[in-house]
Structure 1
């Protein structure tokens, strides 16, 4: 059952992967709908549209993979907010994002 996605640079996407979201061009037209299994030809065509990354569907992660994924996101959040302490609005944003990531991991 597909319930997660990850953004991958086009260079790391391979044939057989599945789009998690509609792929839109610069004008907002759908190039490929969500759920499309990518082929080598599609990936070559996507390269001509200067699209840097794709939202790729992933199967559910194991409990251990979820822990590692959450820790990577928490570590990244710590890097982004490394200049603290912050005033109330920024501190609130930091807490909100951390709680969102925690709930997402559960």
Structure 2
């Protein structure tokens, strides 16, 4: 967890606050990554997932996004797209989706 954080009840959370750590549900699934900026919509959905309090960055604190491990990203993509043949030119939509997911997970900007 980040050193400069505040543990706040949902009633105290406001849109624009930044998570100091991953937000997990009761089963340990990641709902939001560390550094996510909270919105009114994400705050409204938290009670449905059993979230009663959230650790957010203290005012003025800066979060650094974790660096993606390329090997881990490729391994995860291989699992997610295991039914897709990369060489199949007829399935171009899945190929585009895979590239977008890879760019997102590797934190690359979209080429213009």
Give TM-score, length-normalised by structure 1.
0.52
Number of corresponding residues: 59
| Match in the other structure for 2:33 | 33
CA RMSD of aligned residues (A): 1.5
Verify the 8 A CA contact 2:18 2:56 in the aligned structure 1.
yes
Flag the structure with higher helix content.
Answer: 1
- In structure 2, stretches of 5+ residues that fail to align are 62-112
- The Cα of 1:3 is off from its aligned counterpart by 5.0
- In structure 1, stretches of 5+ residues that fail to align are 61-106
Matched, 1:52 2:52: yes
Flag the structure with higher strand content.
Answer: 1
Give TM-score, length-normalised by structure 2.
0.49
List structure 1 segments (4+ residues) > 3 angstroms apart after TM superposition: none
Cα deviation code 1:17-70 (max 9, x no counterpart) = 00001000111110000100000000011121121100010125xxxxxxxxxx
- Residues in 2 aligned to 1:3 and 1:55: alpha-carbon distance in whole angstroms: 11
- Residues in 2 aligned to 1:10 and 1:57: alpha-carbon distance in whole angstroms: 14
